[in-house]
Amino acid sequence: MIPILYIVIPCYNEEEVLPVTSGMFLEELETLIEKGKISGESRILFVDDGSKDKTWSIIGGLSEKDSHFVGISLSRNRGHQNAVLAGLMDSMDKCDITVSVDCDGQDDITAIEKMVDEYINGSQVVYGVRSRRDNDTFFKRFTAESFYKLLGVMGAEVVYNHADYRLISARVLKELAEFGEVNLYLRGLIPLVGFKSSTVSYERRERIAGKSHYSLSKMAALALDGITSLSVKPLRLITSLGIIISIISFIGTIWAVAAHFSGATVAGWASLTCIVCFLGGIQLISLGVIGEYIGKIYMEVKHRPRYIIAERTDEKDSH
Ligand code: UDP
Ligand code: MG
């Protein structure tokens, strides 16, 4: 059976890029349909993540011109991860496989064919892995690579140099739908779902137009979300740190008492200040880490919807 493919593309303020890349996506989709790799029912699904520019009207125009283009629009900006999830969940029942990819043309879309081949060979999840990062600035490369390493140390399983360019079968998406977490970090979540997976390498290029939406603070927030939503290791580290410091303090206390009775007491201002500062710092950091988790629990128990679809191109007539 020839699989139906949905290419899920999150877009946030991408009016400069969309007119260029939409044509590239369509061309690739048509090539794959002609080759008989995917069904003619396959679609390109744009998820407008509450853009403030003309992105949604561009998507509307595309869907009128070619029936391979469809779009949904979220009620407000919910961030990249939620936008991808919205698109995946929305296409889950209409297709056999999905490929999520950014709309800025950075990811080489010819890798989609290799991903489909891997699926045909039995993989349920195919991760796109960057073959090199030459085009990223040194800073971006350094922060991204340190992040993957940190995640590994913290015990979260992620695929090295894999962003959100991947194929997921509808079968796996149905299982992913059961993961109700609000603090979403798909790169860490999908390996947890399991099933047979493989990787396909591709080249990552410069953005075709427009600029990146991932500022340093957004990257840091994603990193923090990644770690705290996948691992409780930071909490354990605090416990270990607490134990080590307690032991040192205990020895220190004995030493202080002994010194006192031997009459060798000096004005211990410096040592006292150091200890107070050090412990104060550790305590605040620990409270911060615990607070981070409590914040996460708070958001999770609310169980709010992760996205709300406000409009869709394929239902225009019914309004
Ligand atoms: N994006 C989104 N919502 C956001 C920010 C970004 O849907 O709040 C989309 C964006 O349109 C793009 C993808 O996520 O398709 C990746 O964003 P970007 O290219 O800015 O990040 P970078 O590639 O620089 O990491
Ligand atoms: Mg990009």
pLDDT on residue 266 = 67
pLDDT on residue 84 = 96
pLDDT on residue 44 = 95
Cβ proximity of 39 and 6 under 8 Å: no
Q: How many CA atoms lie within 13 A of 309 on its CB side?
A: 17
Which residues of 97-230 form beta strands (DSSP E)?
Answer: 97-100, 125-130, 162-169, 197-202
Cβ proximity of 108 and 170 under 8 Å: no
Give bridge partners of residue 97 from the DSSP assignment.
Answer: 5, 169
pLDDT on residue 4 = 94
pLDDT tens, the chain, 319 aa long:
899 999 999 999 999 899 999 999 999 999 999 999 999 999 999 999 999 999 999 999 999 999 999 999 999 999 899 999 999 999 999 999 999 999 988 888 999 999 999 999 999 999 999 887 666 778 777 877 787 788 778 777 778 788 889 999 999 999 999 888 877 788 888 888 888 999 998 888 777 777 777 777 877 787 777 788 777 778 778 878 888 888 888 888 888 888 878 876 766 766 777 787 778 777 877 887 888 888 788 777 777 788 888 888 887 554 4
pLDDT on residue 318 = 45
Cβ proximity of 103 and 9 under 8 Å: yes
pLDDT on residue 133 = 66
Ligand nearest to the CA of 80: 1
H or E segment and range at residue 210: none
Residue spans of the domains in the chain: they are 5-211+304-318, 233-302
Residue 317 in tokens: 């007539």
Chain Cα centroid distance, residue 105: 18
| Interval between CA 214 and ligand 1 midpoint (Å) | 7
Residues 6+ apart with CB under 8 A from 14: 51, 53, 55, 103, 104, 210
| Interval between CA 2 and ligand 2 midpoint (Å) | 31
Atom nearest to 84 CA in ligand 1: 7
CB under 5 Å of ion ligand 2: residues: 102, 104, 106
Rounded CA separation 11/65 (Å): 19
- CATH code for residues 5-211+304-318: 3.90.550.10
Q: How many residues does the chain have?
A: 319
pLDDT on residue 68 = 94
Taking CA atoms, 303 is separated from 77, 206, 307, in Å, by: 18, 38, 12
Q: Whose CA is nearest to atom 25 of ligand 1?
A: 214
pLDDT on residue 158 = 78
Pocket of ligand 1 (CB under 6 A): 10-12, 14, 49, 77, 79-80, 83, 102-104, 106, 212-214
Q: Report if pTM > 0.85.
A: no
